[in-house]
Amino acid sequence: MRETGTPRRIGLLGGTFDPVHIGHLRGALEVSEMVGLDEVRLVPNFRPPHREAPNSSAQDRLTMVRLAVQDLPPLTVDARELERDKPSYTLDTLESLRAELNDDDQIFLIVGWDAFCGLPTWHRWDELLDHCHILVMQRPDADSEPPEALRDLLAARSVNDPLTIAGSSGQIAFVWQAPLGVSATRIRHFLASGRSVRFLVPDAVLAYINAHGLYRASN
């Protein structure tokens, strides 16, 4: 646990980042600025090796995320889920991070609207808010009806203004973002068909993809 001081506000954005792209980076930066976070950690998820698609290894995904956030505070990388070499539940990640922080530090789990709607399928999902707040990245064009299973939770835990979130955990807020029509799937398809992905990923990530021949159709 850290020394006592001003409570920190830490965002966590999990994903496969295969590869990391401007949608992730803009999303993380915008949330960070809107909510006033000290740090947003990008947390690459462990993913079992996949045969049929030209996906990249955990090491390549991690290296690309590191390249993407270098010299880009407040974005950082947290590699703990890859270090375990097996799938981690978000709850495990939250518990292990919590153990490193002060009791009054705030953790903000950042999830897209789609991921949030799937929350009831997550391992021990009803305990997530014991460890963190949840910030839902909502888009003006997204379906705004939450599933039935989340209605009570939203009624009890959501606040209108993310800036009013208080305490170390337990609340939910929405942050509204202009949509960026980019996905890792699209980037992989572009690369597999020999098209350019310039400006969809940071230049350093593009240089790494090219140097290692990632996502080519023959991989």
**Of the two residues 65 and 97, which places its CB atom closer to ligand ATP in the complex?**
65
Strands 106-112 and 75-77: unpaired
Shortest distance, CB of residue 102 to ligand ATP, whole angstroms? 26
**Of the two residues 16 and 168, which places its CB atom closer to ligand ATP in the complex?**
16
- Residues near ligand ATP, by CB under 6 A: 13, 15-18, 23-24, 27, 111-112, 115, 137, 180, 182-185
Shortest distance, CB of residue 103 to ligand ATP, whole angstroms? 27
Shortest CA distance to 90 belongs to which of 135, 134, 120, 125? 125
As a whole number of angstroms, the distance between CA 104 and CA 6 comes to 9
**Of the two residues 7 and 30, which places its CB atom closer to ligand ATP in the complex?**
30
**Of the two residues 12 and 129, which places its CB atom closer to ligand ATP in the complex?**
12
**Of the two residues 15 and 105, which places its CB atom closer to ligand ATP in the complex?**
15
Shortest distance, CB of residue 200 to ligand ATP, whole angstroms? 10
Task: Provide the 8-state DSSP code for 2.
Answer: P
Within 13 Å of residue 103, how many CA atoms lie on the same side as its CB?
0
**Of the two residues 7 and 118, which places its CB atom closer to ligand ATP in the complex?**
118
**Of the two residues 70 and 183, which places its CB atom closer to ligand ATP in the complex?**
183
Task: Provide the 8-state DSSP code for 41.
Answer: E
Shortest distance, CB of residue 104 to ligand ATP, whole angstroms? 26
List the Cα angle 167/42/125 in 5-degree steps.
55
Residue 184 in tokens: 């890792």
As a whole number of angstroms, the distance between CA 54 and CA 218 comes to 8
Shortest distance, CB of residue 185 to ligand ATP, whole angstroms? 3
Shortest CA distance to 44 belongs to which of 96, 1, 84? 84
Shortest distance, CB of residue 15 to ligand ATP, whole angstroms? 2
Shortest distance, CB of residue 183 to ligand ATP, whole angstroms? 4
Count Cβ neighbours within 10 Å for each residue of 44-82 and write b for 16 or more, e otherwise: bbbbeeeeeebbbebebbbbbbbbbbeeeebbbbbebbb
188 alpha carbon, distance to own chain's centre: 19
